[in-house]
Amino acid sequence: MLILLPPSEGKADAGTGRRWAPDRLSLPELNPARERVLDALVALSAGPDEEAARAALGLSEGQRGELRRNARLREAATAPAERLYTGVLYEALDLASLPATAQRAARRSILISSGLWGAVRLADRIPPYRCPIGARLPDVGALSTYWRRELTPAVDGAAGRGRPVLDLRSGAYAATWTPRGELAERTVTVRVLHEREVDGVPVRSVVSHFNKATKGRLVRDLLIAGARPRTAAELVGTLRELKYTVVEQGGTAGRVRQVDLVVTDL
């Protein structure tokens, strides 16, 4: 099973670890594309027009330190992606506390989207950075469009043959890779809905913070259970076996299987 996750804005300090080595990243076929984005990001962040750089990266005046950090990316210390990303999803996933077998499964199966790197594995060493997928960089353009062109062969290859894909990416990250044909039929996307009662009527809505936390717990549960579904239908069945309330929204021939996870206890 391949599990696709979004990155997080929250990132840990890499400390004094090794510097970035592009030849050591997973999916090495992406390295030329990564170098182009890195060059553009460093140039923008180190340039004289701080206001334009902050606007391009969606940074407030109080976040100007992110520009200084971006400007030094090529010399920056690195940490494994599994320790670098610290957002809500990754807190709920809590990789460090997983049993050893589940950690090994996570490193084999998880692929993290990134506006800077395209996609990385948990063990890939990268420096802390700020480069949202919604950014537009000089000589690169909109990152969502850029990575949509570059990622398809790499992610198709990572998906392999026959095994299901659990796509938990959000927003523009999901737009950077779209499964086609047979691969679409073995892909499951998940939306988390919170159900509450309003005037005696059940109402379901998306709650961003708990959406991320629920997805983190979902991946954790799958890893601890040692789940090895062979098809998208088996993956959906596994979610139900793990006591998730699943409502299927799609899954006809040639299309991605879409499911809602309905939670009542936040």
Contact 137, 143 (CB under 8 A): yes
Q: What is the pLDDT of residues 161-214, one digit of tens each?
A: 889 999 999 888 999 999 998 999 999 999 888 877 777 777 777 776 688 999
Whether the model clears a pTM of 0.85, i.e. scores above it, the answer is: yes
Q: What is the pLDDT of residues 66-83, one digit of tens each?
A: 999 999 999 999 999 999
Q: Please check the confidence at residue 22 and state whether its pLDDT lies above 70.
A: yes
* pLDDT value for 252: 56
At residue 225, φ and ψ (nearest 5 deg) are -75, -10
* pLDDT value for 49: 94
Distances (CA, A) of 77 to 15, 17, 80, 106, 235: 6, 5, 11, 24, 38
At residue 112, φ and ψ (nearest 5 deg) are -105, 125
CA quadruple 222, 130, 208, 193: dihedral sign: negative
Contact 6, 89 (CB under 8 A): yes
* Domains of the chain by residue range: 2-263
